[in-house]
Homo-oligomer: A and B are copies of this chain.
Amino acid sequence: MKFERISNNPIIRISDVTPSAEGMEIIGVFNCGVAKYEGKTLLLLRVAERAISDEHFARVPMYDIEQGKMVIREFDKRDTTIDFSDVRFVKTPKQLYLTSISHLRLATSEDGVHFDIAKKPFLAPDCEHEEFGVEDPRITQMGEWYYINYSAISRMGVVTCLAKTKDFVSTEKLGIIFLADNKDVAIFPEKIGGKYWALHRPVSAYFNKPEMWISSSDDMLAYSNHRCLCKLRDGKFDSARLGASCVPFLTEKGWLEIYHGCDQKDKYCLGALLLDKDDPTKVLARSEKPIVEAEADYEKNGFMPEVIFSCGALVDGDTVSIYYGACDECVCLGRLSVQDIFKELGV
């Protein structure tokens, strides 16, 4: 399977992004949604930041509901009742906190490769269910509206929210569409059989099988007709966790979904799934092997090694341009051929 990485990868690096506020530092710019708008390529970047800490205090950035703004909470590292052992978390006896927080940032390009990155957040936490950040956007265009779904993290769990914009200037948040814990949502770009459809990934605390589900909706907000679409496979690249990555796109053979799968060693790859054109609950084919896996140095070494994760692709004829996060650290671009994917799928 030929995956053509462009030569100037990573196309967006940590050093390219300005922190959103004083006292903060960027630790990653990665999983991004993508859209075409007025002839330009827009990326909606997940920007992860942390508060600058020191040897005495761990500092946790979060949106404070009562104060109605971002705050930085300090935790004394000498406090033995608090668990600081995992750098990603501060665990008090009563509450889990995240040491970093993400917002969504817009980047604009004429050629799809060189991007101007906005200095300020496009979509940032501003309510209770977003207090620990907003992550991993997918953009679905329907006519003149662009629907953005994203994971929202809070002490209530990981939920998926929806927002919409017509101009990538003003945005309306439409609230929670999938309850805790549910992420990796990708909404199909047109109605099928009179319904909207979404791929999503509920997770059970008890049974812990993160798999891909599909549901339909009349209004894109309330979903029913829930069913499990794509299960974990022992011994394969998607043996431990899987979920939708890109927004599905229609081909002559059906809906093509580029999804992510992860194995027991936390190696994240991309796979392909072909769904029936008129009934997306029918899986026509699924790749046995990854269609993209970590090979380049910037994919194999970084904050989370061997992680390839995409939230969006652009399709032009036979070419699929996949924007992806490498190692939860930077944004890269690579290209696949639709016909090659079909071959891999045996269709």
Contact = CB atoms under 8 A, between A and B. Distances in A.
Given A175-B224, A175-B225, A224-B219, A158 B206 contact: yes
A218 B179 CA distance: 18
Contact of A223 (B155, B211, B222): B222
A305 interface: no
A227 B180 CA distance: 11
A347 interface: no
A128 interface: yes
Contacts of A206: 96, 157-158, 181
Interface in A49-85: none
Interface residues of A, number: 40
Interface string A214-232: 0001110111111110000
A205 interface: yes
Contact of A224 (B157, B177, B207, B227): B177
Contacts of A211: 156
A178 interface: yes
Given A178-B179, A179-B213, A157 B226 contact: no
A202 interface: yes
Given A218-B222, A222-B218, A180 B202 contact: yes
Give the residue among A96, A129, A206, A217 with the most B Cβ atoms within 10 A. A206
A204 B158 contact: yes
User: How many copies of this kind of chain does the complex include?
Assistant: 2
25 contacts: A96-B207, A129-B228, A154-B207, A155-B207, A156-B207, A156-B211, A157-B204, A157-B207, A157-B209, A158-B204, A158-B206, A159-B226, A175-B224, A175-B226, A179-B182, A179-B226, A180-B202, A180-B203, A180-B204, A180-B207, A203-B205, A205-B205, A221-B224, A222-B222, A222-B223
A176 interface: yes
Interface of A: 94, 96, 128-129, 154-159, 175-182, 202-209, 211, 213, 217-219, 221-228, 234
Contacts of A202: 156-157, 179-180
Nearest to A129: B228
Contact of A176 (B203, B208, B226): B226
Contacts of A221: 224-225
Nearest to A200: B179
Contacts of A181: 204-206
A105 to B, nearest CB: 24
Given A96-B206, A157-B206, A175-B226, 17 more contacts: A157-B203, A157-B204, A157-B205, A175-B225, A176-B227, A177-B224, A179-B182, A179-B202, A179-B213, A180-B203, A180-B204, A181-B206, A205-B205, A205-B208, A218-B218, A221-B225, A222-B223
